[in-house]
Amino acid sequence: MPVDSINPAGDHRVSHCTAELNGITYHYLLGIPERGYRATIFLVLTPRALAEDAPRVPPESLSLYGLKRAADDIKELARQLGATQIILGGHDWGGAIVYRVALWHPRLVTHLFSVCTPYSPPSKHFKPLEYYVKQGLLPNFAYQLKLADGQLDSLISRDQIRQFLNGIFGGRGPKGEYAFDTQRGVLLENLPILHPTTLVDEGTLNYYADQYVRNGMQNLSNWYRVREQNFQDELQLEKDTIEIPVLFIQATEDAALPPAMSNGMEKYVPNLARKSVETHHWALWEKPTDVNRHIKEWLERVTQHDRGLL
């Protein structure tokens, strides 16, 4: 059976809600499942990119985009919703965040799952990303240097932002041109010639473009500018292991987060379950049935004695 994706612009299965979390107003979707858990929250886990009042922050305020701040905001949302324990899941940056919520607030998170994003433990010694890219340790993250350097900041108009979203979601040009390369980042010159993506419908793409144009692309880029801030914050963490049940779903063809990056996760995540899907980075759109099946089967197994969780 095909997956009936939620339409963010309007869908009877979810409600659009807002919450003020530590001074920032978030927009999130609240879904009530047909059976099982108390509620499902679809939180935009690039929160200050799409927040209602996303700040255009100067460099000294980039801590607003740190992983600790995101973890604290999720804890506050849970408090406001009356949830003392939650299950968290995320993809890409959302996957990075859910691990950090579990580290910063271990009593809050009982289970977590991450699609595409492996767990990277906190480090006691800082090295800039340039070091890892030049040493060949993380060549797939060269694009992050481009984004941190402002590659997207020139995208201002709605049409430009929509072209970018169309390309990043897999739109291709007449001769196979594409929008993104892990070495060069976003190929801005190709954006105007790309055909419509087949992954995202036109209405959803328009909705995303409308949201991003309100605050610009700088807010998205800021996530790539806080590596040192995250390091400084995480020096306070008491442990680097996550001992709750964790499901990691690997996208086997993900160029940005290749399978090798998850090697050795069991050392830091002893209660780890692994699954994989034969997709590229946008696994939840490319193979939604497979991803949902893995999550559903895992949840049924690890929470069979407690269905009172958020």
Render 137-160 in DSSP notation, one character per residue. SSGGGHHHHHHHTTTTTT--SHHH
Comparing CA positions, the residue from 281, 152, 277 lying closest to residue 224 is 152
The whole-angstrom separation of Cα 255 and Cα 89 is 21
Instruction: Tell me the mean pLDDT in the region 30-50.
Output: 56
- What residues contact 102, with CB distance under 8 A and at least 6 apart? 88, 109, 112, 242, 244
Write down the H helix ranges in 25-92. Answer: 47-50, 67-80
Mean pLDDT along residues 247-260? 97
> Which residues are 250's β-sheet partners?
276
With CA atoms as reference, report the closest residue to 104 among 271, 244, 270, 233: 233
Q: State residue 304's pLDDT score.
A: 78
Spell out the residues 6+ positions from residue 235 whose beta carbon is closer than 8 angstroms to its own. 122, 124
Q: What is the model's pLDDT at position 308?
A: 45
Average pLDDT of 258-280? 97
Task: Express each pLDDT in 189-203 by its tens digit.
Answer: 999 999 999 999 999
Query: H/E element holding 304?
Result: none
User: What is the average pLDDT score of the chain?
Assistant: 88
Task: Name the amino acid, one letter, at 263.
Answer: N
Model pLDDT, residue 193: 97
pLDDT at 49 over 60: no
With H, G, I as helix, E, B as strand and everything else as coil, classify residue 283. helix
Place of tokens 């996208």: 251
